[in-house]
Amino acid sequence: MSGWTLKFPLALGQTVTSDWNTDLTQGSNTITAANTSHNATIAPGASITLGYLAAHTGDSSPPPRFTLNGDACAVGR
């Protein structure tokens, strides 16, 4: 995969305060995490790690769904 974008919603009142290994933007309550120059290409069978910290005003629930380059991802809990 060359170039990727991961999108997911945050609960109302959650705001990203920091992130790593991604170019992350927050619009309303939708997060868009995109590749950086050092992790733009993901080889078959490989993985990358990215993360974020968020503050909240009461609802600390995890994101209920994710899409990777527009395709829905399975969410394990």
* Residue at 18: amino acid letter: S
* Residue at 68: amino acid letter: L
Q: What is the tens place of the pLDDT at every residue in 19-36?
A: 999 999 999 889 999 999
* Cβ-based neighbour number of residue 26 at 10 Å: 16
pLDDT band at 47 (very low <50, low <70, confident <90, very high): very high
Q: What is the tens place of the pLDDT at every residue in 55-70?
A: 999 888 889 999 999 9
Domain ranges of the chain: 5-58
State the pTM of this model.
0.87
Give just the sign of the alpha carbon dihedral 50, 27, 69, 8: positive
Q: What is the tens place of the pLDDT at every residue in 8-20?
A: 999 889 999 999 9
